[in-house]
Structure 1
């Protein structure tokens, strides 16, 4: 694992939408479109110390804010390519400390942590390392214990792997516990847990699994006051963008997202401005869909704004909710770009990234926002980098 236009904006609207996560300099507020240039943001480079043990380079995959702490997850990669799981924590995004990671299994000791979620101030993570006869990812989960460290959760191979395996994706925490999004031979699936101490596979469920309408694929999951939302597609004669909603993570309702016939692939889902917002590829651009309030079912979703170009060869890699908006990291096939919306996906404007934002290579990215600052992590297969945009 680890080898992954806008209408006029008033200054008042922009600052109000970004205040909780991205505070921009004066003069950044005037403007209406891509032609006005990116919203300027002051980035500073952060440092993640290599945890005790075999030396190597820092690998970064994901970041989240959880309670009053920030967490980054990834690995340490030695010169010979061997990896070991790693995580870091910070109270202020300035200084970072390695988190203890207790791994017991062969693949757990070599895993790269690629997704981290939060629930009630506690984190849980998913990681994997390719291996075995077929070189498939061997998935392992971790839960946080009272001393702050992460401990491996024992699981039989068939829970995440085996003959029915496809992939295991991202993890999210909510009022009902934890869910991991992924896919099995039967189609879209989830793994659920009350406390992240043991997960149950829920595959082949009506509405979620593949059927005569096509093959289902789930990419991401988020939790909100009305339950869970999965984002994905149904592939068939004509691919369809969909979400699945569930009050309990067991019973699911499939909802088609409105489209215009272009290639559409929802890839990330977050809760913003009181409801779920999905972001992904929409033809040759990126774009969003959103539901209003508690209307998450059929008829409650609509297509929102589009942004960027080059989406046909790219992907939305990370999304962070702001007070009333969104911050997106997207890959256009050549480079990473940052985009910000002050109104939960309706309008968009590019945002300036760090000067040394990597391009090309084997890449992954994560972003989180809260308490007046943003943390961005990007890995290009050669170096894991972290930046912070502080409040000003």
Structure 2
């Protein structure tokens, strides 16, 4: 190659680096999927009228496993449901005590666990404007799940946008979501009463950009929340993370990004290290905390575009779940047409697909949730027609 051509190539590379461009994430289609040896589990029917189980989320801590969702009857009516296990193999349905008209129709969609105790968020679309009517749920001493009474404007009202995720941590319980003022939080020491924090400096939108929060995790020093910020005059978000000691006062950090649309949608702790997974363009990206800073890690393109198809769908990609155990991450993602599960054994630097027992298309009323403890993992699937659960095992991660 001539000296002139070498210089030209180097010049192009320099321009790309200066522009912040990055290579598209590799699909990893040629890599052999991890096969956990899935074994089916039985989730017994809850007491009351029969219905199809709706599985939406799962969590585990302190020797307890939980799955949450609801039941749908033949006429489309719904009611909340939850299941628990003390060994991950034998499951029982939890008693449910709803307190309100919409609470009795809730489908539980986000579950958190703290010291072996469950709390959850549920919702039912209704009312004159068709907005989700949100309730939170806490576990009683006898194991039953009870709806928590709250004023309408705690989660709804004219400033409401969404209520996203619930997390338990050393400081108690935290919900993150969004209001008309931007990202918001709800805090509680015991999940019995949540206080809304909206318009908080650094967390809410301001002159630096419009904020949006997706998920949170408890850390020894308090809380971490993840999402994105849309700078003024731009149409693409930058990934962002917020830290707080008490869930009320927040500090914002913008993560390393590129010119693509990027946002962090889920966060988990891997051996105590926070790792976030989110969008980068039409693929998926990972960020990891390193000391006081965050660094960009690996990326992946997600699953096949559609069941039985090799083309990418036009739907919106999303990260729907992220859990960690024994040094391994498991991410549930949708590429807009199909849901898939991916795993990383190096804190997000590289990713490998996980073989599922059945294909699951993306779309409303279809969900995949995972939980992990040690080398065992649990999979909960709702393909829109039926729900099922499995457990499997993963290879140990070298330490």
After TM superposition, the score normalised by the length of structure 2 is: 0.85
Larger radius of gyration: 2
C-alpha separation in 2, matches of 1:347 and 1:318: 17
Per-residue displacement from partner, 1:169-223 (whole Å, max 9, x unpaired)? 1100111110001001111000000011100000000001111122111011111
The answer on whether the counterparts of 1:66 and 1:123 sit within 8 Å (CA) in structure 2 is no
Q: Which residue of 1 aligns with 2:149?
A: 154
From 175, 181, 202, give the equivalent of 1:180: 175
Q: Does the residue aligned with 1:313 lie in a helix, a strand or coil?
A: coil
C-alpha separation in 2, matches of 1:269 and 1:188: 16
From 324, 346, 353, give the equivalent of 1:343: 346
Per-residue displacement from partner, 1:264-290 (whole Å, max 9, x unpaired)? 121101111322111011123211001
C-alpha separation in 2, matches of 1:100 and 1:66: 20
C-alpha separation in 1, matches of 2:99 and 2:327: 42
Q: Which residue of 1 aligns with 2:41?
A: 46
* More deviation, 53-62/268-277: 268-277
C-alpha separation in 2, matches of 1:313 and 1:361: 10
Q: Which residue of 1 aligns with 2:76?
A: 81
Question: Which gives a bigger RCO, structure 1 or 2 (Cα 8 Å, sep 6+)?
Answer: 1
After TM superposition, the score normalised by the length of structure 1 is: 0.87
C-alpha separation in 2, matches of 1:308 and 1:41: 21
Q: Does the residue aligned with 1:182 lie in a helix, a strand or coil?
A: strand
Aligned-residue offset at 1:391: 6.7
Q: Does the residue aligned with 2:154 lie in a helix, a strand or coil?
A: helix
> Is 1:308 paired with 2:301?
yes
* More deviation, 365-374/80-89: 365-374
> Is 1:320 paired with 2:323?
yes
Aligned-residue offset at 1:361: 4.4
C-alpha separation in 1, matches of 2:47 and 2:35: 37
> Is 1:262 paired with 2:260?
yes
Q: Does the residue aligned with 1:369 lie in a helix, a strand or coil?
A: strand
Alignment map for 1:17-32 (pairs within 5 Å): none
CA RMSD, 1 decimal: 1.6
> Is 1:329 paired with 2:332?
yes
Alignment map for 1:186-205 (pairs within 5 Å): 186-205=181-200
Q: Which residue of 1 aligns with 2:379?
A: 376
C-alpha separation in 2, matches of 1:249 and 1:348: 32
Per-residue displacement from partner, 1:92-119 (whole Å, max 9, x unpaired)? 2222110011111101111000011011
Aligned-residue offset at 1:164: 0.7
C-alpha separation in 1, matches of 2:212 and 2:362: 27
The answer on whether the counterparts of 2:326 and 2:375 sit within 8 Å (CA) in structure 1 is no
